[in-house]
């Protein structure tokens, strides 16, 4: 193999795919990245057998070939080189990388030992083209409520599904739930995408990417982000019927400034660290106040309030971190917050109808 590439493009490619290379497995080859010429391009790829990342770099190829190299070493070496042209030449399992006054010889492993990269039959796949802004927002709004408990694998991913011609994303860990309506869908889809794969797709996005293509087959999903592709296995299983948990109406409805609500919750959270983040919210209709109370045993207590429009008095105890995280991903200056009594689910939505494509549920704590 013999070729020339720019340092900037190769460094970016190695940075993206190198994150997927795994050192947590007995298979040494998974610590490596694959470098393979394909026509006038260089393919840079890595896999941990669950996720595969590929990136195509434009190159001046003199001689075709392929080899795998230790991911961390080659990535850090290329990143340390000055901007300019990088010349690459390999013979057997040895590769020479030179740029300006720098030259290194790296020992690799034959590419025949590298796992076969996953493929998707694109003509038969369900495909969506999503703006980068919408993709990032929808994923961030739902991924925060997914579970890290591997004993229930279906809850460790985000559920992509179509309902009545619309594509929805949903996530739940059993204590909270998030649903985001994303876009129109002509196709029928039901797929559970691992949170780790979505995080990898988010990390791959750069300022020059305006759209992301998402392709599903029966067992895999592929995110095409500019010149990069992230391909992942889907989580096998049936997602719970979460929609039955969303109350259609509530006794106490509160409309409050998002920034003010965030402020009083963060302050209350300082006093609730020793009680598992437990804070009590009290709605006072007559006073037009949403009050929040928390106690730090032996240290003191706090009561804060925010002006609000309230339909009925009510009280509920929630986890302060869950509230803060919900408010942090809501794209609205004013939110609606509703509940019925101390034990029913609490529903957070945007007050602006234009932004009412996101619903966040938090289950109360027993006070």
d(CA 44, CA 35): 5
Residues 251 and 306 in one domain: yes
CATH number at residue 269: 3.10.150.10
Q: Give the pLDDT confidence score for residue 355 in this predicted structure.
A: 66
For 11-66, the three-class secondary structure string (H helix, E strand, C coil) is HHHHHHHHCCCCCCCCCHHHHEEEEEEECCEEEEEEECCCEEEEEEEECEEEECCE
* Nearest in space to 43 (alpha carbons), one of 233, 228, 223, 230: 228
Domain finish residue from 79, 113, 147: 113
| Nearest CA-CA partner of 337 in 329, 326, 328 | 326
| pLDDT the model gives residue 134 | 95
Residues 134, 43 share a domain: no
Both tokens of residue 25?
A: 């497995």
Q: How far apart are CA 307 and CA 287, in angstroms?
A: 9
Q: Are residues 219 and 276 in the same domain?
A: no
Paired tokens of 362: 């938090």
The pLDDT assigned to 176 comes to 96
pLDDT in tens, the chain (367 residues): 999 999 999 999 999 999 999 766 678 899 999 999 999 999 999 999 999 999 999 999 999 999 999 999 999 999 999 999 999 999 999 999 999 999 999 999 999 999 999 999 988 999 999 999 999 999 999 999 999 998 999 999 999 999 999 999 999 999 999 999 999 999 999 999 999 999 999 999 988 889 999 999 999 999 999 999 999 999 999 999 999 989 999 999 999 999 999 999 999 988 887 777 889 999 999 999 999 998 877 778 889 999 999 999 999 999 999 999 999 999 899 999 999 988 899 999 998 776 689 999 999 988 6
Burial class (CB in 10 A: 0-12, 13-18, 19+), 133: exposed
Domain range for 358: 246-362
Show Cβ contacts of residue 11 under 8 Å, excluding neighbours closer than 6 positions.
75, 78, 79, 81
Q: What share of the chain is helix, strand, coil (3-state, %, to 5)?
A: 25, 45, 30
Residue 121 included in any domain? no
Q: In this structure, what token pair is assigned to residue 297? A: 């045993």
Distance CA 248, CA 71 (A): 51
119: in domain: no
Give how far Cα 366 sits from Cα of 123, 133, 300, Å: 51, 38, 21
* Per-residue model confidence (pLDDT) at position 59: 96
| C-alpha Rg value of the chain to the nearest Å | 25
Alpha-carbon gap, residue 221 to 322, rounded angstroms: 29
Whether residue 17 contacts residue 45, with contact meaning beta carbons closer than 8 Å, is answered with yes
Same domain, 298 and 279: yes
Inside any domain, residue 120: no
Question: Domain ends where: 68, 88, 113?
Answer: 113
Strand order in the sheet with 176-184: 190-194, 157-163, 166-172, 176-184, 358-362, 346-350, 334-339, 252-257, 300-310, 289-296, 278-284, 314-319
Residue 140 placed within a domain: yes
3-state secondary structure of 261: helix
Q: Are residues 229 and 207 in the same domain?
A: yes
Q: Mark which of 92, 113, 134 sits at the end of a domain.
A: 113
Please check whether residues 144 and 232 belong to one and the same domain.
yes
Asked if 131 and 65 sit in the same domain, the reply is: no
Same domain, 279 and 348: yes
How many structural domains does the chain have? 3
Same domain for 143 and 94: no
């Amino acid at each position: 193999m013999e070729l020339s590439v720019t340092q900037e493009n190769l460094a970016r490619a190695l940075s993206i795919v190198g994150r997927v290379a795994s050192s947590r497995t007995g298979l040494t080859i998974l610590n490596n990245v694959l470098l393979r010429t394909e026509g006038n391009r260089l393919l840079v790829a890595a896999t941990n057998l669950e996720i595969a990342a590929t990136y195509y770099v434009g190159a001046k190829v003199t001689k075709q070939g392929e080899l795998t190299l230790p991911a961390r070493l080659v990535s850090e070496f290329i990143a340390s080189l000055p901007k300019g042209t990088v010349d690459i030449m390999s013979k057997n399992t040895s590769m020479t990388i030179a740029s300006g006054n720098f030259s290194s010889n790296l020992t690799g492993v034959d590419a025949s030992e590298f796992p076969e990269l996953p493929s998707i039959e694109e003509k038969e796949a369900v495909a969506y083209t999503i703006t980068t802004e919408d993709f990032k927002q929808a994923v961030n709004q739902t991924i925060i409520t997914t579970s890290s408990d591997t004993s229930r694998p279906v809850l460790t991913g985000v559920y992509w599904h179509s309902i009545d011609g619309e594509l929805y994303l949903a996530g739940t860990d059993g204590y909270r739930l998030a649903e985001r309506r994303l876009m129109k869908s002509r196709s029928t889809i039901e797929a559970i995408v691992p949170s780790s794969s979505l995080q990898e797709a988010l990390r791959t996005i750069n300022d020059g990417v305006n759209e992301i293509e998402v392709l599903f087959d029966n067992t895999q999903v592929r995110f095409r982000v500019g010149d990069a592709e992230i391909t992942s296995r889907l989580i096998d299983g049936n997602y719970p019927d979460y929609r039955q948990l969303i109350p259609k109406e509530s006794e106490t409805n509160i409309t409050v400034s998002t920034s003010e609500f965030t402020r009083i919750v963060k302050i209350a959270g300082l006093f609730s660290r020793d009680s598992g983040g437990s804070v009590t919210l009290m709605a006072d209709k007559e006073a037009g106040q949403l009050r929040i109370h928390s106690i730090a045993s032996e240290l003191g207590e706090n009561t804060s309030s925010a002006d609000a429009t309230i339909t009925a008095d009510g009280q509920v105890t929630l986890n302060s971190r869950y509230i803060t995280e919900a408010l942090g991903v809501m794209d609205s200056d004013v939110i609606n917050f509703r509940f019925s009594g101390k034990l029913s689910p609490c529903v957070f939505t945007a007050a602006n109808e234009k932004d009412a494509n996101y619903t966040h549920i938090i289950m109360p704590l027993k006070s």
